[in-house]
Amino acid sequence: MKLLILTQKVDKNDSILGFFHDWLRVFATHCEKLTIICLYKGEYDLPKNVKVLSLGKEEEDSFTNRFKYIYRFYRYILQERCNYSNVFVHMNSEYVVLGGIFWKLMRKNIALWWTHKATPWHLRIAEKFTDIIFTASRESFRLPTKKIKIVGHGIDINKYSFVDRRSGIGDRRLITVGRVSESKDLKTMIKAVEILEDVKLDIIGGPLDEKDENYFEELKQMVKDKKLDCKVNFVGPIPNKDIIKYYHDADLFIHASQTGSLDKVVLEAMACGLPIISCNDAVKNDLLRKYPDLIYSKGDYQALARRIEKVLNTSKEKRAELGKELRDIVKNNHSLEKLIKKICKSYL
C-alpha cells in the first residue's frame, strides 16, 4: 500500500505528539511507500521507505507563514500524487477541507482520524469528503455519520511495560499527565489532594496557548494559597519517549479530563499496570465499567479523595492484580499493532 499521512508534527521528542512517531514506525511496516506531510518537522528515526515533508513551521522566518504553508501543502500533494493512493489525516480536519476536492479528482481514498467531542466547522466540511472516519470510542466523535469506524487507540504494549509495584517504597505518589488546560479540571485534583494525608501529586504537562497560561497561573496561585507546595509538583512537559519512568514510579494515575474523548495517557498508564481513577465519560463507559471504585463524578473532589484513599489502602498484591487486569484491557483492545492493521485493512 502507498499511503500519504498528514499530521501536525513529526518529532519523537515532543511531549504531546511524540507518540505519533511510534504510529509512523508501525505504519511503515505495512506500507510499500509512506509519505508524510507535517506542519512541523523535528527529530525522527523512521525506515527508508518513509519520506517526511514539512510545511515549514520549524523555520525561523515567520513572514507570510500561512501562505507559505498552503503553497507547500498543494505543491506536496500534487508532486507526490504517484507515490500514494490512500490518504490518512490525523486530527487536522483542515487538511481535508484544503485537499479533499483534489484527492477526490485524483481518486484517492480519504480517511480522517478524530478523537474529540468538539465538532468545529472544518470537521463538518471534512466529513463530506472523507470515505471513512476512524475514532477511538463512541464518545470521541460526535457528528452523526455512517462513515465512522471505532477502532480503539494505539498503544505500544511492549514500550509501556508492566511494573510490579508490590516491592515498591512509598505508596502515596499520584500522577496526572496531559495538557494544562481548564478542560483537564486540575483544580478538582488539587482540592482532593488537600484533604488527603501523606500523598504527593505530580502534574506532568504544560500550557499550549494564552488561555492555558492564565489557567496555569491560577493553579500555581491556588497551590500557594493552600500551602500545598510540598504536596503538588508541577513537573512541566516531558517528551513522550521519557514519560514511562514517571508511570513506573507512580502508585496511582488521576484523570479528571472533561473532554469526553478517550485520552491516550490513560491507556499508557494502564499498559504500565498503573491503577487509574477517572470521571471521563469515555473512560467510564469503555474501560472501567467493571471497576466502580475507580470512577467518580465530575468536579466531586471529596469523592475523588475517597477513591484515592481506598485504592492506596488496598494491599500491594491486590493493586498488582488490578494493574494486570487494566493492562490486559489495553493489550486486547488498544494495541498499536492491531490499530494500524485495522486502519490499513479498511483501505482495501
Domains contained in the chain, CATH given: 2-156+335-346 (3.40.50.2000), 165-333 (3.40.50.2000)
pLDDT at 60 over 70: no
Q: Determine contact, residues 13/34, Cβ cutoff 8 Å.
A: no
Burial (CB count within 10 angstroms: exposed 0-12, middle 13-18, buried 19+), residue 340: buried
Q: Which residue has the higher pLDDT, 330 or 168?
A: 330
Residues 6+ apart with CB under 8 A from 330: 155, 157, 160, 267, 270, 271
Confidence of residue 16 (pLDDT cuts 50, 70, 90): confident
When pLDDT is averaged across residues 165-184 and rounded to a whole number, the result is 79
Pairwise CA distance, residues 283 & 321, whole Å: 20
Give the pLDDT confidence score for residue 112 in this predicted structure.
98
pLDDT at 143 over 80: yes
Give the pLDDT confidence score for residue 64 in this predicted structure.
58
Give the pLDDT confidence score for residue 170 in this predicted structure.
52
Confidence of residue 223 (pLDDT cuts 50, 70, 90): very high
DSSP result, 60-114: S--TTHHHHHHHHHHHHHHHTGGG-SEEEEES-THHHHHHHHHHHHTT-EEEEE-
Burial (CB count within 10 angstroms: exposed 0-12, middle 13-18, buried 19+), residue 297: exposed
pLDDT at 216 over 80: yes
Degrees, nearest 5: CA angle 52-237-303: 125
Residues 264-276: tens digit of each pLDDT: 999 999 999 999 9
Give the pLDDT confidence score for residue 27 in this predicted structure.
97
Crossing angle of helices 94-105 and 65-79, in 10° steps, is 30
Q: What is the mean pLDDT of the chain?
A: 92
When pLDDT is averaged across residues 148-158 and rounded to a whole number, the result is 93
The pair phi, psi for residue 302, each rounded to 5°, is -70, -40
Pairwise CA distance, residues 264 & 8, whole Å: 17
Residues 224-267: tens digit of each pLDDT: 999 999 999 999 999 988 999 999 999 999 999 887 778 899 99
Which three cell numbers, joined as nine digits, stand for 134? 476512524
pLDDT at 117 over 70: yes
pLDDT at 13 over 60: yes
Q: Determine contact, residues 242/164, Cβ cutoff 8 Å.
A: no
Residues 280-309: tens digit of each pLDDT: 888 888 888 899 999 999 999 999 999 999
Pairwise CA distance, residues 106 & 114, whole Å: 24
Pairwise CA distance, residues 77 & 259, whole Å: 32
* Cβ neighbours around 11 below 10 Å, total: 21
Give the pLDDT confidence score for residue 62 in this predicted structure.
53
